[in-house]
């Protein structure tokens, strides 16, 4: 399978920083983003980094500490930045036409993540979210997607979304309890499965 890539714009959204800040960190780390044309970008060149490079960027930003308030801090709640966690989400991308296709991942702002996702997957439905540390994301994804077919970065297909939901519940029940950064409707979506 080809290397997992994430756009700099999506990375900025997930971390809660402006894309200009991400580009500065990439230059500092001497990481050269790949410029690709993809269908979801309507043929425009978009900068991408690997999943490993995105973790390096997140680590570099964490090591810099909270610092003074800037425009970057507006994108994510201060608690999420200080606590270094956001929400892990389980999304159904086509609930009616392809109920086995789902997306999992971590974001600092679920509403912003949904806004960008709904451009290419307008019927995206939040199945459930859990407070999650950035450090847990890769392990959580590996755990809950066991035996699922990977279609794209963080997009998978399963025969049973109920099994994936159960794995998510089991994983987060084992982890230390975290407070939800923005307790509210976007982080407490009820399960349509019962």
Spatial strand order in the sheet of 149-152: 125-133, 85-94, 98-107, 155-157, 149-152
Do residues 144 and 104 touch, judged by C-beta distance below 8 A? yes
> Is 59 among the domain residues?
yes
Residues 95 and 152 in one domain: yes
* pLDDT at 190 (0 to 100): 42
The answer to whether the CB of 104 falls within 8 A of the CB of 141 is yes
- Are residues 41 and 131 part of one domain? no
Q: Is the dihedral of CA 125, 98, 10, 131 positive or negative?
A: positive
Is residue 89 domain-shared with residue 154, that is, in the same domain?
A: yes
- If asked whether residues 100 and 166 sit together in one domain, one would say yes
Answer whether 74's CB lies under 8 Å from 81's CB: no
Q: Give the pLDDT confidence score for residue 83 in this predicted structure.
A: 46
Q: Give domain status of residue 127, yes or no.
A: yes
Q: Which of 75, 92, 123 is the last residue of a domain?
A: 75
Q: Are residue 119 and residue 183 in the same domain, yes or no?
A: yes
| Dist CA 31 CA 5 (whole Å) | 14
Question: How many domains does the chain contain in total?
Answer: 2
Q: E strand or H helix at 83, and its extent? A: helix 78-83
46, 26: one domain:
yes
Q: Let me know: does 86 contact 76? Beta carbons within 8 Å.
A: yes
Reported as half-sphere exposure (CB side, CA atoms, 13 A), residue 174 has a value of 10
Inter-residue contact 156 to 149 (CB < 8 Å): yes
Mark which of 21, 43, 75 sits at the end of a domain: 75
Domain boundary among 36, 52, 75: 75
Q: By residue range, what is the domain housing residue 111?
A: 83-187
* Per-residue model confidence (pLDDT) at position 2: 54
94 or 64, higher pLDDT: 94
Tell me, yes or no, whether 34 and 103 share the same domain. Answer: no
Please indicate, yes or no, whether residues 93 and 153 belong to a single structural domain of this protein: yes
pLDDT, tens digit, 9 for 90 and up, residues 127-183? 999 999 888 888 999 999 999 999 987 899 999 999 999 999 999 999 998 876 554
Residues 72-126 pLDDT 10s: 443 443 333 434 678 999 999 999 999 999 999 988 888 888 888 888 889 999 9
Which pLDDT belongs to residue 104? 95
Note whether 171 and 116 are same-domain residues: yes
pLDDT at residue 186 in the model? 41
Q: Is residue 192 part of a domain?
A: no
Predicted TM-score (pTM) of the model is: 0.57
Evaluate whether residue 38 is within a structural domain: yes
CB 167, CB 146: distance < 8 Å: yes
Pairwise CA distance, residues 101 & 94, whole Å: 7
């Amino acid at each position: 399978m080809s290397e997992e890539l994430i756009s700099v714009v999506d990375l900025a959204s997930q971390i809660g920083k402006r894309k200009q800040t991400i580009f500065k960190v990439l230059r500092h780390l001497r990481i050269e983003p790949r410029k690709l044309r993809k269908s979801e970008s309507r043929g425009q060149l978009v900068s991408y980094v690997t999943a490993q490079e995105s973790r390096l960027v997140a680590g570099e930003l964490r090591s810099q500490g909270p610092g003074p308030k800037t425009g970057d801090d507006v994108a994510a709640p201060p608690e999420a930045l200080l606590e270094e966690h956001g929400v892990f989400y389980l999304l159904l991308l086509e609930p009616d036409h392809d109920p086995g296709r789902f997306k999992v991942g971590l974001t600092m702002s679920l509403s912003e993540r949904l806004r960008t996702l709904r451009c290419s997957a307008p019927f995206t439905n939040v199945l459930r979210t859990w407070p999650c540390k950035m450090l847990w994301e890769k392990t959580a994804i590996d755990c809950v997607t066991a035996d699922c077919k990977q279609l794209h970065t963080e997009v998978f297909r399963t025969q049973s979304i109920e099994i994936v939901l159960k794995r998510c519940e089991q994983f987060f029940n084992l982890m230390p309890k975290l407070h939800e950064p923005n307790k509210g409707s976007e982080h407490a979506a009820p399960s349509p499965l019962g």
